[in-house]
């Protein structure tokens, strides 16, 4: 059995104060806001000294409120690091041809270095079919199957941002992934599967689990690293975690607390697991802000290499 934090030393890329260590029982906090800030600073420097403008073109179909909010935040975050953000609005009810046509136009425009699609698309439009049209070299959310394939083969590619964020956060602790036992809870195309593949690429021993996995706790209790992306509040409790393990909580769930107030929590029972884990990400303030930073990094990589 590992002592808390025994496997780990801090990755020099994220030397203090980039990862803030706080004493929450035994676990140290992996602070997504602080890590994200480090990434954004380095991106701003790269863009300022780069040999071409970095631009992100986003398509928003209709007037979904969450997508609107996300786009507005994205614009601010992009401008702060020097990325030229252009939002392409398409009216609600647009069909496949119109949306596909816009993607293809952006693919061929040499001034456009990155393309992303805000979801949801209209119900009768096949989202995956549209995503697979995005030029893989501009696909900064890593949603084109070509990019997922390249992740599997270990080739240079644009990796889905949340998966990248989860693995960067593990690495920020200094954990040696080679030979580590990792359990990934959740196996969606956009989070769970790419996380599992990235961990495999790092030569970890990886178990991918899903809602049909019996006796989940038997797997997690043996894991040096647990990444959870299930969307189930309170799923991971202290009795499921090996002392000293790294616990990365990707889940974002809205719940009502005992006083009837809405709040955001992850999949991990945070206070409880903090007493056992070596490192833990909070929600909010964990994987979320680091995901935003990874989108900016992918966008910069797409333009500057």
Contact positions toward ligand NAD, by CB under 6 A? 162, 185-188, 190-192, 209-211, 213, 216, 229-232, 235, 250-253, 287-288, 291
Phi then psi for residue 46, to 5 deg, are -60, -45
Select from 253, 4, 291, 2 the least CA-distant residue to 169. Answer: 291
> Is the Cβ of residue 213 or residue 237 nearer to ligand NAD in the bound state?
213
State the nearest-atom distance from the C-beta of 213 to ligand NAD, in Å: 6
State the nearest-atom distance from the C-beta of 282 to ligand NAD, in Å: 11
> Is the Cβ of residue 102 or residue 297 nearer to ligand NAD in the bound state?
297
CB contact at 8 A, 236 and 269: yes
State the nearest-atom distance from the C-beta of 93 to ligand NAD, in Å: 25
> Is the Cβ of residue 91 or residue 189 nearer to ligand NAD in the bound state?
189
State the nearest-atom distance from the C-beta of 165 to ligand NAD, in Å: 7
| Dist. CA 103–CA 5, nearest whole Å | 46
CB contact at 8 A, 264 and 254: yes
- Written as six digits, the tokens of 293 are 């930073």
Q: How many CB atoms lie within 10 A of CB 167?
A: 25
Q: Which DSSP state fits 275?
A: T
**Which position has the token pair 């000293």?**
244
Give helix 287-304 / helix 32-48 axis angle, nearest 10°. Answer: 20
Q: How far is CA 273 from CA 27, 28, 133, 235, 301, in A?
A: 8, 11, 42, 11, 36
78 alpha-carbon distance from chain centroid: 17
- Written as six digits, the tokens of 100 are 């596909």
> Is the Cβ of residue 101 or residue 234 nearer to ligand NAD in the bound state?
234
> Is the Cβ of residue 82 or residue 284 nearer to ligand NAD in the bound state?
284
> Is the Cβ of residue 112 or residue 265 nearer to ligand NAD in the bound state?
265
State the nearest-atom distance from the C-beta of 230 to ligand NAD, in Å: 4
**Which position has the token pair 């040696």?**
176
State the nearest-atom distance from the C-beta of 287 to ligand NAD, in Å: 4
CB contact at 8 A, 167 and 195: yes
State the nearest-atom distance from the C-beta of 289 to ligand NAD, in Å: 9
Phi then psi for residue 185, to 5 deg, are -95, 120
């Amino acid at each position: 059995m590992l002592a808390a934090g025994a496997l780990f030393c801090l990755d020099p890329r994220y030397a203090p104060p980039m990862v803030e260590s706080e004493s929450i029982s035994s676990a140290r906090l992996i602070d997504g806001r602080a890590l994200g800030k480090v990434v954004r600073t380095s991106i701003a420097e790269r863009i300022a000294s780069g040999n071409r403008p970095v631009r992100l073109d986003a398509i928003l179909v209709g007037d979904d409120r969450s997508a609107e909010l996300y786009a507005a935040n994205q614009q601010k975050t992009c401008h702060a690091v020097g990325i030229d953000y252009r939002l392409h609005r398409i009216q609600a009810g647009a069909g496949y041809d119109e949306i596909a046509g816009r993607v293809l136009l952006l693919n061929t425009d040499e001034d456009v270095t990155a393309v992303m699609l805000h979801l949801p698309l209209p119900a009768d439009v096949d989202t995956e079919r549209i995503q697979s049209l995005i030029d893989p070299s501009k696909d900064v959310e890593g949603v084109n199957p070509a990019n997922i394939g390249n992740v599997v083969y270990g080739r240079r590619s644009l990796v889905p941002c949340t998966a990248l964020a989860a693995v960067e956060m593990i690495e920020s602790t200094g954990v040696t992934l080679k030979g580590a036992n990792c359990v990934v809870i959740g196996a969606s195309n956009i989070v769970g599967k790419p996380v599992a593949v990235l961990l495999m690429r790092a030569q970890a021993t990886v178990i991918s689990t899903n809602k049909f996995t019996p006796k989940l706790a038997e797997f997690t209790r043996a894991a040096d690293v647990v990444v959870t992306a299930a969307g189930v509040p309170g799923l991971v409790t202290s009795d499921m975690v090996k002392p000293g393990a790294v616990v990365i909580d990707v889940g974002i769930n809205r719940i009502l607390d005992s006083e009837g107030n809405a709040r955001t929590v992850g999949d991990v029972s945070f206070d409880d697991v903090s007493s056992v884990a070596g490192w833990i990400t909070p929600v909010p303030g964990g994987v979320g802000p680091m995901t935003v930073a990874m989108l900016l990094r992918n966008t910069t990589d797409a333009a500057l290499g």
